[in-house]
Structure 1
Amino acid sequence: MPNATLHDLFVADLRYLYFADRQLQKTFPLLARAAHARSLKRLCQEGVDYSSERLQRLETVFDQLGENARAKTSHGMRGLLEEAGEVAQKKLPPEVKDAALLASIQRIAHYGIAAYGTAAAYADAVGERKAAKILARSLKEKKEADAEMTAMAEDEINPRAIEGGAEAD
């Protein structure tokens, strides 16, 4: 992007986010089917709904900017989704697979935290206050989901994986 402005970077980041959330809507059902624990299945099913909400917010931001809502392939997100899909296909004890799935989902969430945080900061920097607020809401939800996943891993999924992995030995 020769002679790109911060506004150009902002719009490009929105397009990467649009790609990411559209792909998440396709991937979460696959991960839900692969999950064993009810809490993990629920997390994946809720992920579809949250992705839909974020997509609507992104479309609102695109409208505010007078831009077309279109996706730009995020190779980073694509790689994370491919890894999650590979985990879903692995033959592992159910409890161990749940731990691996949750770790994959959390890595995806961390990408989202970084991407939404950057987009919100760019929006603020270029004076798009309404867009910044909308993006900050998605960022807040991503951070809350991350905290929920950490608690789920520490309190439920990882202890079960330890027990299940020991039984498989």
Structure 2
Amino acid sequence: MKSYQQSLSIKASPAAVYAALTTVEGLRAWWTQDCAGGVAVGDTLEFRFSECYKDMRIEKLQADSEVRWLCTRAHIVAESVSLADEWVGTQLVFHISDAGLGKTQLDLEHIGLLPSLQCYALCQNGWQHFLASLQQYLETGTGTPFAVASDQQISSTERRVAA
């Protein structure tokens, strides 16, 4: 079976796309506003979507060409998903390449996100939304990330204590 893949042609430079994938500010602008963590290889990024979460260890950073994460912790809350940690062990690989004329080709491969997983349809819809948000953010300055009500946000320290 083939892992999930999606490609985009974005009116932005490879450096801008890379920054949106490798800085907490960039990630908050298109994926989820509740994002924290480090930005170097070996560091962990924590992504929160209300009660759902995904922790990603940064595996590879190659300036303006590749970003690779490994999911080390996950919890998906959805009626159709009884295995809340299906993302654990999956890898997200973002390949970035200059497409010329002020455009960048972004190819996402979510290795291990297979059609046989319970969360596949939910995640496929999610990736379509959030990658469109990434494109919108890079082309207009405003994305559509997941937003959490301020009373629901908790600090990274509180998350670790609760875990």
TM over 0.5: same fold? no
Instruction: Provide TM-score, normalisation by structure 2.
Output: 0.32
Query: Higher helix proportion, which one?
Result: 1
Q: TM-score, normalised by structure 1?
A: 0.31
Greater Rg by CA: 1
Q: Hey, which of these two has a bigger chunk of strand by percent?
A: 2
